[in-house]
Structure 1
Amino acid sequence: MLQRRPLIALGASALAAPALLHPRTVHAAALVGQPAPDFTLEDTAGNPVTLSRFKGQPVVLEWTNPGCPFVRKHYSGNLQALQKAYTGRGVVWLAINSTEDASADYLTPPQLARWMQEKNAAPTATLMDDEGRVGQAFGARVTPHLYIVNAQGVLVYAGGIDSIPSARVADIDKATNYVRQGLDELLAGQPLSKPTSLPYGCSIKYKG
């Protein structure tokens, strides 16, 4: 098994524990307020999905890895509820797995599709990025790492799913969910009150 490196991004506390930062997870991030990098990835059924085809709709990008305890925490029901609530309101939700195929956490497309089905997940599509190019273009560092792209194709949120960086399911209800807050503001035609936050989770196992 490869060693899983949890990354808790918490400002001073993260700086106090630099060993948690894997050097391959540090990339130049796409900038909030700028057009989101376009991409085409295959979903778990092998169909190409292109970000720009959804222009005119808000899009959530969710970096995921079922081997990560932070991902499993939020797939206890939290992420499924968000996916169902907002895809029902016209939001496109793309779950992206950038885990390299040499990692112990890697799931083949059928395995990943089966895991999502078992969890009753409801993203618009689950995409494979095992080369890591899309994750690196967005500067995705951890799972889960969340982004919101507005209907004009501009990146308006990048960061953590919520305000409590733990793997405890009990903390979900206590936390401020930044993705829900941001989507509600976006759908109401309001600027996002918190366009960025520090993500937390397991470092992405990028190729190379």
Structure 2
Amino acid sequence: MKTLFSHLALSTIIGISALALTSSPVLAQDAPTKQKGHENEKGKQKGHDDGKGEHKGHDMDQPAKDKGKDADKGKDAAKKGGVAPGDAAPNFTLVDTDGKEHNLSSATQEGKIVVIQWFNPDCPFVVKHYGASKTFNDLAKNYGDKGVVFFAINSGAKGKQGAGKDRNVKAKADWEIPYPILLDENGDTGRAYGAKRTPEMVVIGKDGRVAYFGAIDDDAGADKPGKVNYVAKALDEILAGKPVSTSSTKGYGCSVKY
């Protein structure tokens, strides 16, 4: 009898325990909670991947920085000076070998065409055009009465080759140069134009803009003049009301002695 009662009690306990396990709300929600946690882990992983997007955004800033560097280079270039065809010609006020002051704006305001030659009387490439060929003097003779003004500018610093008032006074007399030689000993005007060679030429139109910049002609040797005079060609076209067909060439000669 006791044995039978024990078996019945044990069966009852087991049944109650099983019923409790299947109906427990805590245990029923346990699995979804773990699944949700797993999804949160995926969310963290996604957040980490989004972090890669931030790195990508940081990388995209690089071109902007590079662009800024390019802009800085542009500013540096502007500081160094230099003009190109179509640019407004920088004004200058310089004194010639006779002590007379000249400025560009006076000529352009009068509607003149201006020809500038960078000058060094001791440069062989300059000498060839003032010797037997008389290239520069002939230009002044042929175009001086057509509203064209000529200046030679010496941007050599004191003590440098071909620089100084006395040396240039002598050159003007020896070569019978019919136009002023302007002294630019601090080099400000030369640098403003970006002059690098003697003789380097600039033609400025009636509108005050650079119409031609470059060599005097097509022969870069130091012995004889070339067949094509780019300055004469530019002047003929400007005077005829035509656009300058060759507005720039590579200059040749001695370096400007800044």
TM-score (norm 1): 0.81
Structure 1 runs not aligned, ≥5 long = 1-26
Residue correspondence of structure 1 range 3-22 to structure 2 within 5 A: none
- Counterparts of 2:148 and 2:228 in 1: how far apart (Å)? 20
- Counterparts of 1:83 and 1:114 in 2: how far apart (Å)? 19
Q: Which residue of 2 aligns with 1:167?
A: 222
Structure with the larger strand share: 1
Contact residue 83 and residue 121 of structure 1 kept, 8 A = no
AA aligned to 1:121 is I
Q: Which residue of 2 aligns with 1:24?
A: none
Residue correspondence of structure 1 range 101-120 to structure 2 within 5 A: 101-106=158-163, 108-120=164-176
Structure with more relative contact order (C-alpha pairs < 8 Å, separation 6 or more): 1
Residue correspondence of structure 1 range 59-78 to structure 2 within 5 A: 59-76=114-131, 77-78=134-135
- Counterparts of 1:126 and 1:88 in 2: how far apart (Å)? 19
Matched, 1:196 2:196: no
AA aligned to 2:129 is H
Equivalenced residue count is 175
User: SS of 1:127's equivalent?
Assistant: strand
- Counterparts of 1:120 and 1:105 in 2: how far apart (Å)? 17
Aligned with 2:199 (options 144, 148, 154): 144
Contact residue 162 and residue 168 of structure 2 kept, 8 A = no
AA aligned to 1:41 is L
Offset, 1:101: 0.7
User: What percentage of residue pairs aligned between the two structures are identical?
Assistant: 38
Runs of 4+ in 1 over 3 A off after TM superposition: none
- Counterparts of 1:142 and 1:69 in 2: how far apart (Å)? 12
- Measured against aligned partners, the alpha-carbon deviations of 1:45-84 in whole angstroms (never above 9, x if no partner) come to 1121110000110000100100100000011211111122
Larger Rg: 2
Matched, 1:54 2:111: no
- Counterparts of 1:190 and 1:117 in 2: how far apart (Å)? 36
Offset, 1:30: 1.1
Offset, 1:90: 1.6
- Counterparts of 1:86 and 1:114 in 2: how far apart (Å)? 25
- Counterparts of 2:166 and 2:145 in 1: how far apart (Å)? 25
TM-score (norm 2): 0.65
Structure with the larger helix share: 2
- Measured against aligned partners, the alpha-carbon deviations of 1:183-208 in whole angstroms (never above 9, x if no partner) come to 111111110010000000000110xx
